[in-house]
Structure 1
């Protein structure tokens, strides 16, 4: 925990959709949910447009209800879905819902509703950024050549102001040996080892948590893995 790591934010951008979530199979599934009928003659090139058209044949709240039911399957009950389908017209549930583990799927739901209804739902914004981490003890941090979500968040938090959301909400987890929420805060992550001392990490997450990194270039800090991960290694 005493090792100092140098972190450099190489790229930072806002994205409006998560890579590889909505695709042809999911469009086919949604057409079934919307009771479109026979889809056998719809070409792959037409699937997205036909899916969006089918979505907008419903009132916005009803479309939200149907898509929430598909995305969340049985994780939300009918009453919750009914309430959320109304709230999503005005609220960014991928930021405001109490269960952080649901944020990514609320984002995916909000993204297709925003696109299909041409902005009648809140604009979904996520962030994608690259972090170069340098240390002569880098191998001690990596688990199976990957950096963990807990370790990267603990490091990134030191590159943001003390009052930033992660530092306020997760004060204990940042300094302790357990950060269970970390895997839900980070939506997608890729670790690319460039040398024994350098790793490039690409992160996709909510703007809600990491917008302040946009104004950060480089910093130094300490970090560590959760204790149970270290024990398994």
Structure 2
């Protein structure tokens, strides 16, 4: 299957849009002993939350935010361990369960800003692009198609190429593509995806315009 791709813009960001809602901030304020916040302004609620967080030790604050965000995915023991580890390491890049990376990124960056840099700074990559199916390639653009196409346009030492070579070469199923790309959506001018800088860094892209031939895994009968 062959596709033609044109990259319009690549951004490196330290906060994702809409990562936290009014409901999130008010629930967290309550957990940080600042209940009944009446504002509906997100920036004001965030500033109130940062003030409330400052009364807590960083690892304790991390435990509270992790519990709010990931209690359905992690045990209390795992949350306690991560609350200490994320002060030292980029857990949102290193945690083995990559389907949790986006949530861990959002937690990390909230705490990074609340504590003025006591937590490691992690970043995300946002790419706006056009993709055109050639010949009989599927017209519906999936995360797997997007990752496989962009893998053809990355430097050889890219971490995704090193970790998922068999999947990218269609030797195995590539379910991990759904977690490598945090979001994939259509825009007025094409498509946009969001991923961790860990998987695709701005300087790792080779060309603005390229063609990619990809294959899909087929289980042997």
Question: TM-score if structure 2 supplies the norm length?
Answer: 0.89
1:179 corresponds to: 174
Q: Is residue 221 from structure 1 mapped to residue 215 from structure 2 by the alignment?
A: no
Find the aligned partners of 1:34 and 1:204 in 2 and give their Cα distance.
30
Find the aligned partners of 2:168 and 2:24 in 1 and give their Cα distance.
37
Q: CA offset at residue 218 of structure 1?
A: 2.2
SS of 1:208's partner is coil
Which structure is higher in helix share? 1
Give 2:186's match in structure 1, choosing from 188, 191, 198.
Answer: 191
Q: Is residue 202 from structure 1 mapped to residue 192 from structure 2 by the alignment?
A: yes
Find the aligned partners of 2:200 and 2:161 in 1 and give their Cα distance.
11
1:153 corresponds to: 147
1:231 corresponds to: none
1:111 corresponds to: 109
Find the aligned partners of 1:202 and 1:83 in 2 and give their Cα distance.
34
Deviations 1:117-163 (A, max 9, x none): 1111111210111122234437x4233xxx11011001000001233
CA contact (8 A) 2:133 2:139 kept: no
Q: CA offset at residue 24 of structure 1?
A: 1.0
Computed over aligned residues only, the root mean square deviation of the Cα atoms, in angstroms, reads 2.0
CA contact (8 A) 1:141 1:225 kept: no
Give 1:50's match in structure 2, choosing from 44, 48, 51.
Answer: 48
1:41-190 correspondence to structure 2 within 5 Å: 42-45=38-41, 46-137=44-135, 140-143=137-140, 147-176=141-170, 178-190=173-185
Find the aligned partners of 2:16 and 2:84 in 1 and give their Cα distance.
23
CA contact (8 A) 1:152 1:223 kept: no
Find the aligned partners of 1:102 and 1:47 in 2 and give their Cα distance.
25
Q: CA offset at residue 213 of structure 1?
A: 4.0
Give the aligned length: 215
Deviations 1:48-87 (A, max 9, x none): 2111111111011100010011110221111111111111
Q: CA offset at residue 219 of structure 1?
A: 2.0
Unaligned 5+ runs, structure 1:
195-199, 229-233
